[in-house]
Amino acid sequence: MMPITIKERERKKDFGIFFTPEWVVDLMTNLIDNHGLNLKDLKILEPACGACQFLLGIKKNRQDLFNRAVKKVGVEINSKVLNSVNNLNGISVIHHDFLLWNTGDKYDIIIGNPPYGIPSLSDHYTIKVDNKTKERYKEIFETWYGKYNVYGAFIEKSIKLLKNNGQLIFIVPATFMILDEFKKLRKFLSENGKTEIIYMGSDVFKPEADVTTVVLKFRKSKYEKNKLVLYEYAKDGIGPILKNDFWRGEIILFKSELSEEVENICSFRLKDLYEVKISPRTPEIKSSKYVIKPSDHESNGLLPILNGRNLKIGEIVYEPITGYWIEPKNKTKLRKFFAKPHIVVGLGFRGDGRLGCAYDHKAYPWMGDVYHLLRKNTLLNMDFNLSEEEVVDFLNSNIIQKYVKEVFRDITYHFSITQLSILPMPTREDLLKLKESPIWKEIGNMT
């Protein structure tokens, strides 16, 4: 294959295009299960097909299925990547937006690598879609929620195009496993059949893209709904990690000996004890009538607005970094919870996987990607006897850092509110048990 030019690479990004390595195509086509397929009327579909890698992969690896198929269809929105494969080998390529494409056919096998990205004309997002088209997407797809990624819509539409016992096999980002934007999609999956997920890690598309991926294998079946199996891919094979026959669309977490031990010992989850809030974003700060960017700020008695760069492990650096200031009396105009000292948490980054947590005893105003933990006034908190400083120490501990890495892996770049909310939280008595456990001795003391 000829090297891809910078211009071609940028054009591909506008459509969310990343070509799939051949070994992944081979892996996925060999996952097709003949069980339940109607071999006399077999129909195969590849959405966002581009060069029809997967249809040709079936020809290469599953020639019996390829030859039996009465229909082999690809759908592709971008005419510039349509390949001369059309009308060869019995493959029909349709030039259309798959998400808006109408067909009366149902398919036995739907396989491929759908585009991924937030649809928008904004420079901040990769999939260039006008507002009118985006509104049509929102009307059509029942799983659309929040800043929805188009690959979720591809999954929903494909499942609706499957015959009973039909199979969907997609390689997609792993983010649908845990992010709130995909809670409707997870529920949709659980209600329509059996969901199998093979965790592939973050190296599949490098250097083209740094994204953690999974292979989603889904069988449409009312008899297998609510079944979930999570696997992990390794060079020596695919091994199971967890199985759940009663899945209702909850977030999907990895399990380990450490995570199960910590969860068994800790009496609470963070969401039981704290409300989690996020700081005002930069656009809000810039547009606020209370925020000041003075030339002589030190003589004005103003408070600097802090951000993630002011937050260290167990420490807050109360110095002006952002360039934004506010009068002390007006800080609660940004957020009421800036009135009282509380715990602040950095988002944590994929690869590093570490939380940055400290106690803001001065109650400064904040902006950007920083979370704020506000202790609830509930009966549960009467049984929770750690001080705020002890909570900070625990969240910064080696135990929690390893827990985060093992349970969430490297699925997201940033730590989400959902992830933070389900962290296990111990009482003082639980903490003593943790310190006596083998995992504590193995990992080391709290930082």
> Active-site positions?
113-114, 116, 205
Question: 3-class DSSP state for residue 358?
Answer: strand
- Cα torsion 133, 135, 141, 147 to 10°: value is 100
In 3-state terms, the chain is what percent helix, strand and coil (to 5)?
A: 35, 25, 40
Q: Edge-to-edge strands of the sheet including 342-346? A: 274-278, 370-375, 342-346, 357-360
CA distances from 176 to 118, 183, 247, 263 (A): 13, 8, 15, 23
104-123 burial, b for 16+ CB within 10 Å, e for fewer? eebbbbbbbbbbbbbbbeee
Which residues touch 5 (CB under 8 Å, ≥6 apart)?
none
Spatial separation of the C-alpha atoms in residues 420 and 316, rounded to whole Å? 20
Instruction: Report H helices in 72-201.
Output: 131-140, 150-160, 183-192
Contact 445, 394 (CB under 8 A): no
CA atoms 308, 310, 313, 316: torsion sign:
negative
Beta strands in 65-161 (DSSP E): 71-76, 91-95, 107-112
Residue type at 279 in one-letter notation: S
Task: Specify which residues 311 forms β-bridges with.
Answer: 316
Spatial separation of the C-alpha atoms in residues 376 and 369, rounded to whole Å? 22
Q: List the one residue out of 424, 396, 398, 370 whose CA is nearest residue 253.
A: 424
- Structure tokens given for 62: 């599953």
Phi, psi of 215 (to 5 degrees): -95, 120
Contact 44, 167 (CB under 8 A): no
